[in-house]
């Protein structure tokens, strides 16, 4: 019967074999799929390696860094890369191979090469920028023309961030009295939700682009290591294709994200973004002042030239006016006799027509007609009788003749041709 081993015996044999075989320190490249720091200060994580397509995991190992080592390596790594050891980060680490009967196989980190991580971050940014260029959108936002006046500002930032407060204070208290309309489109500016949150804010701005002159993306406060959340193709593509010029002020002086390469204008900090807007406004004011001065100078020149022209033509105008007056007087003197004869002829003709009309009117005088034997008949209430139908038997009628009126009572009234 074959010898049966206890589990501890077997794992102890594995441990002894590993300790005897893997006596050196080994530099390896791997991706952190897990990363956490325990309360005791020890770092625990997991290394993975994916296939050439970057899809399937082909190797996996538990990784540790004891507190004494981690407390030395972590600040150095973060100072060099701006990153903390986190899931998704690729690193080059010097490790020892360990095996424990109770905890199994693991790799213990004793050193880290920050330059490798920096290179990988730069490579990732290059890949994003290369893809944007291949898609034909890398320079789209940069090619937009800045409005002459940038007063209506759509801001993407965290509402409670110190950088956003500094940005607003600088705009409000600018020394030139420039007025800005600022509206915050709040977004998460650090952590796992950066991409979706900022994309939602940009989409909200795109729903009303006519209301804004430009977009400002600023991040105030927070850890420098969180800037890698902005190295996203989706975010970069959204910024590149914004219909408004985008000003990016994320992080501190030495920080850099892929958004810096696609935005219209890149500034270092939120306060630098405010300074850029103020400087642009003052430049436009200076242009307006210069234009006003040019207009004033041109107007003065035109007025002065006109005065010179008036002074030059005034004597000629005076002579021409005298000549016109003299000529007109001669014309009036020559036509005066003819005008007088014409007026006399018109007056005589008019007088003859008036005399003819007076004779015709006199012939129609009622008094003259009455003296000739005609009469007028009225009803008792003063209506002129023009027809037998106007009166009835028994009516009182008044007949007016040349020397008086005759009142009579009507006995009968017959129409011509009837009895």
Percentage of residues of the chain with pLDDT beyond 70:
92
Tens-place pLDDT, residues 40-50: 999 999 999 99
Residue 211: per-residue pLDDT: 96
Query: Is pLDDT at 27 greater than 90 in this prediction?
Result: yes
Using CA atoms, how far apart are residues 414 and 391, in angstroms rounded to an integer? 11
Three-state secondary-structure class, residue 64: strand
- Report the run of H or E that residue 185 belongs to, with start and end: strand 181-186
Provide the CATH topology of domain 7-112.
OB fold (Dihydrolipoamide Acetyltransferase, E2P) (2.40.50)
Lowest-pLDDT choice from 112-116, 130-134, 157-161, 211-215 = 157-161
Q: Report the number of secondary-structure helices (H) and strands (E) in the chain.
A: 9, 13
Q: Rounded mean pLDDT of 153-179?
A: 92
Query: Is pLDDT at 339 greater than 70 in this prediction?
Result: no
Tens-place pLDDT, residues 138-149: 999 999 999 988
Q: Rounded mean pLDDT of 213-241?
A: 84
pTM over 0.85: no
Using CA atoms, how far apart are residues 286 and 124, in angstroms rounded to an integer? 43
Q: Rounded mean pLDDT of 339-366?
A: 75
Query: Is pLDDT at 230 greater than 70 in this prediction?
Result: yes
Q: Rounded mean pLDDT of 169-198?
A: 92
pLDDT tier, 415 (very low <50, low <70, confident <90, very high otherwise): low
Lowest-pLDDT choice from 18-27, 68-77, 217-226 = 217-226
Give me the residue label for tokens 């625990």: 44
Domain with CATH 3.40.50.10550 in the chain: 133-283
Query: Is pLDDT at 418 greater than 70 in this prediction?
Result: no
Domain with CATH 2.40.50.140 in the chain: 7-112
What is the DSSP code string of 12-63? HHHHHHHHHH--S-EEEEEEEEEEEE-TTS-EEEEEEEE-TTS-SEEEEEEE
Q: At what angle do helices 67-81 and 114-134 cross, to 10 degrees?
A: 40
Query: Is pLDDT at 326 greater than 60 in this prediction?
Result: yes
Give yes or no for a contact between 253 and 269, defined as CB atoms under 8 angstroms apart: yes
Q: Which residue has the higher pLDDT, 227 or 30?
A: 30
Residue 368: per-residue pLDDT: 73
What mean pLDDT, rounded, does the chain reach? 86
Query: Is pLDDT at 68 greater than 80 in this prediction?
Result: yes
Q: Which residue has the higher pLDDT, 407 or 316?
A: 407
Give yes or no for a contact between 7 and 14, defined as CB atoms under 8 angstroms apart: no
Query: Is pLDDT at 227 greater than 80 in this prediction?
Result: no
Taking the CA atoms of residue 113, residue 114, residue 115 and residue 120 in that order, the dihedral angle to the nearest 10 degrees is 110
Query: Is pLDDT at 133 greater than 60 in this prediction?
Result: yes
Percentage of residues of the chain with pLDDT beyond 90:
50
Residue 419: per-residue pLDDT: 46
Using CA atoms, how far apart are residues 290 and 380, in angstroms rounded to an integer? 97
Tens-place pLDDT, residues 250-263: 876 666 789 999 99
Using CA atoms, how far apart are residues 124 and 121, in angstroms rounded to an integer? 5
Q: Rounded mean pLDDT of 180-195?
A: 91
Provide the CATH topology of domain 133-283.
Rossmann fold (3.40.50)
Lowest-pLDDT choice from 28-42, 57-71, 72-86 = 72-86
pLDDT tier, 364 (very low <50, low <70, confident <90, very high otherwise): low
């Amino acid at each position: 019967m074959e010898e049966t081993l206890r589990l501890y015996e077997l794992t102890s044999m594995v441990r002894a074999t590993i300790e005897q075989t893997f006596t050196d320190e080994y530099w390896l490249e791997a991706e952190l799929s897990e990363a956490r720091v325990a309360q005791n200060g020890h770092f625990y994580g997991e290394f993975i390696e994916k296939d050439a397509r970057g899809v399937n995991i082909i190797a996996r190992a538990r990784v540790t860094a004891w507190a004494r080592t981690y407390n030395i390596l972590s600040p150095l790594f973060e100072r060099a890369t701006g990153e903390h050891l986190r899931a998704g980060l690729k690193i080059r680490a010097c490790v020892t191979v360990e095996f424990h009967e109770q905890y199994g196989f693991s790799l213990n980190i004793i050193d880290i090469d920050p330059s490798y991580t920096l290179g990988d971050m730069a490579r990732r940014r290059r890949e994003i920028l290369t893809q944007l260029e291949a898609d034909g959108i890398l320079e789209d936002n940069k090619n937009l023309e800045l409005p002459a006046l940038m007063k209506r500002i759509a801001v993407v930032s965290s509402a409670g961030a110190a950088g956003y407060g500094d940005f607003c204070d600088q705009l409000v208290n600018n020394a030139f009295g420039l007025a800005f309309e600022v509206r915050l489109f709040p977004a998460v500016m650090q952590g796992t939700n950066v991409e979706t949150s900022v994309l939602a804010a940009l989409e909200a701005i795109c729903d009303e682009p006519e209301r804004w002159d430009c977009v400002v993306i600023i991040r105030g406060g927070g850890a420098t290591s969180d800037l890698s959340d902005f190295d996203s193709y989706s975010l970069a593509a959204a910024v590149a294709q914004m219909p408004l010029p985008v000003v990016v002020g994320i992080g501190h002086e030495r920080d850099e994200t892929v958004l810096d390469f696609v935005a219209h204008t890149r500034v270092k900090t939120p306060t630098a973004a405010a300074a850029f807007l103020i400087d642009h406004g003052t430049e436009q004011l200076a242009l307006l002042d210069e234009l006003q001065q040019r207009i004033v100078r041109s107007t003065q020149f035109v007025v002065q030239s006109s005065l010179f022209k008036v002074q030059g033509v005034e004597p000629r105008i005076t002579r021409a006016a005298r000549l016109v007056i003299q000529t007109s007087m001669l014309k009036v003197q020559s036509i005066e006799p003819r005008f007088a004869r014409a007026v006399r002829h018109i007056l005589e003709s008019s007088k003859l027509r008036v005399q003819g009309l007076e004779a015709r009117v006199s012939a129609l005088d009622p008094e003259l007609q009455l003296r000739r034997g005609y009469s007028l008949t009225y009803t008792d209430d003063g209506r002129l009788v023009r027809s037998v139908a106007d009166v009835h038997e028994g009516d009182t009628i008044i007949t007016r003749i040349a020397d008086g009126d005759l009142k009579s009572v009507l006995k009968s009234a017959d129409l011509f041709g009837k009895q």
